[in-house]
Structure 1
Amino acid sequence: MRWALNALHQAKTQLLKLLRIRTRGVRVMVFNPAGEVLLIRHTYGRSDLYHLPGGGIRPWESPEHAAHRETREEAGCTLADLMPVSIHLSLGEGRRDTVHLFSAQSEDRPIADGVEVEEARFFALDALPATLSPATWRRLQEHLGKRSPDGHW
């Protein structure tokens, strides 16, 4: 199954790069009552890297709806107090992506689906994994006031 997800991920990346399709996506900084942040690891692509939960915005849905849907799909968590944080431009992997970043709260225990997401769990902000994606690291540094936002994902 993983080889199929990797093949689809690579094909989608190449198609978006070739056709220069503009896409919209969301990422969510989800915090539990202890102030820990939810991070996920995918089963495809760079599966060693931890990311904020998120994904694509469907043509008919709002960024807020996509944030709720993606977090529920990837980690089984429902969100409370969803707030917009910032909007970023992502040119990674040949994309032209607008990423809407949100913050939210959740009291749910995350559960990885085992298909798209290998691991989903909360981490203390002072004990983050060494293998954060660069964009996730930048967003968390901005959240902690250790870095100024620059508008790029």
Structure 2
Amino acid sequence: MLHLIPRPLARTLLRLAYAVRHRWRMLRKTHLAGVSIIIRDANGQVLLVRHAYGPAVWMLPGGGLSRGEDPAGAARREAREELAIELLDLQECGTMEETISGCPHTSYIFSARAGSEPRQDGREVVDWAFFAPAHIPTDLGRLTRKHLALVPGF
């Protein structure tokens, strides 16, 4: 449905929804779960994205699990939604118990290869780039470096 809304309006609505969701989580303290995906290209570089909402930092692609959704299925869905790519050789690297917006959060971390060149949707993801492990940018999301540490070479 989001694809029917003009991109600038969709980005504005996502920023508003992010702020409301953050405050709701702070009040409810509901346990949530999500996925982060370490996607590499054929040269071993890792894919990072910038979202239209939240902090303006580089992050791993990913997102929340829907009720009853399998984490691997969520990783594949998020890669398709955010970057229009299929994941090859998807493997779970581990899980981390974290705190996001003051709430307990289980993060399932996966690694995979990109099945094609990513295309940001221009709504949720506004920028993406592949980075060599030795040249990962310093302006990373708070949890991104911890997630990358689960994979050898980071």
TM-score range, shorter chain: 0.7 to 0.9
Q: Which runs of 5+ in 2 are unaligned?
A: 1-8
Q: CA deviation at 1:68?
A: 0.3
1:141, 1:62 → 2: CA distance? Answer: 23
1:30 partnered with 2:42: no
Q: CA deviation at 1:142?
A: 4.0
Alpha carbons 2:91, 2:111 under 8 Å: kept: yes
Among residues 81, 91, 97, which one is paired with 2:99 in the alignment?
Answer: 91
Alpha carbons 2:58, 2:140 under 8 Å: kept: yes
2:37, 2:18 → 1: CA distance? Answer: 21
**TM-score normalised by length of structure 2:** 0.87
Q: Secondary structure at the match of 1:21?
A: coil
Among residues 107, 115, 134, which one is paired with 2:123 in the alignment?
Answer: 115
Q: Percent identity?
A: 33
Q: Which runs of 5+ in 1 are unaligned?
A: 147-153
**TM-score normalised by length of structure 1:** 0.88
* Off by >3 Å, runs of 4+ in structure 1: none
2:28, 2:133 → 1: CA distance? Answer: 38
Q: Secondary structure at the match of 1:34?
A: coil
Report what 1:63 is aligned to. 71
Where do 1:68-87 residues align within 5 Å? 68-87=76-95
1:45, 1:142 → 2: CA distance? Answer: 24
1:106, 1:79 → 2: CA distance? Answer: 5
Q: CA deviation at 1:123?
A: 1.2
> Number of aligned pairs?
145
CA deviation profile, 1:104-125 (whole Å, cap 9, x unmatched): 1113111111111111221111
Q: Secondary structure at the match of 1:87?
A: strand
1:9 partnered with 2:8: no
1:44 partnered with 2:56: no
